[in-house]
Amino acid sequence: MQISNLFIATATTLGLTSNAFIIPRQTNITDEHLANFRTWGAPDCPGATDNEGEWNSQIFNLNICYQFPNDIEVESLELENIDTGVDITCSVYVFTDDDCTVDEVALPPVGQCYNYSPAAGADPGMGSYKIACSDE
């Protein structure tokens, strides 16, 4: 009897603590991969010589602001892939500040280059990005 009570108590505890780690899905996208894009430290994307690498985002990265590292200067970006679900549209947004609040720009469709053209006195490159999805 004591063993079965111990088992029930353990199972209940595991059940309660396991639920604390479940992250609710924000969309009906079924693949964990959400999007990837590439950045360059010079204009003209694939033609640029300063390829800074690929940024990969997962489904649980929605609506979270991420800063580009301070040691790179993002001047052009190209969306390589973005997944959507039924009646869901997702976009990658880039910003000139580090907090995803200034000069929001939605990246153009897959395969098209976005060139950042700073205004006089503005930051030399993009500072942050986030991915957001909405129901159509």
Q: Is the pLDDT of residue 16 over 50?
A: no
Position 112 in a domain: yes
What is the model's pLDDT at position 120?
A: 63
Domain that holds residue 62: 33-135
Structure tokens at 110: 């897959």
One-letter amino acid at 130 equals K
Note the Cα 46 to chain centre separation in Å: 21
Confidence of residue 54 (pLDDT cuts 50, 70, 90): confident
Position 39 in a domain: yes
Position 42 in a domain: yes
The kind and range of the H/E element at 4 are helix 2-19
pLDDT (tens digit per residue) in 112-133: 999 998 776 666 789 999 988 8
When divided into structural domains, the chain yields a total of: 1
Kindly report the length of the chain.
Answer: 136
Query: What is the SS3 assignment for 46?
Result: helix
- Give the chain's mean pLDDT: 76
pTM of this structure: 0.71
Position 18 in a domain: no
Position 66 in a domain: yes
Position 54 in a domain: yes
Virtual CA dihedral for 120, 123, 125, 127, nearest 10 degrees?
Answer: -150
What is the model's pLDDT at position 127?
A: 94
Cα 104 to Cα 125: distance, rounded to the nearest angstrom: 13
Position 28 in a domain: no
70: domain CATH number is 2.60.20.20
Position 56 in a domain: yes
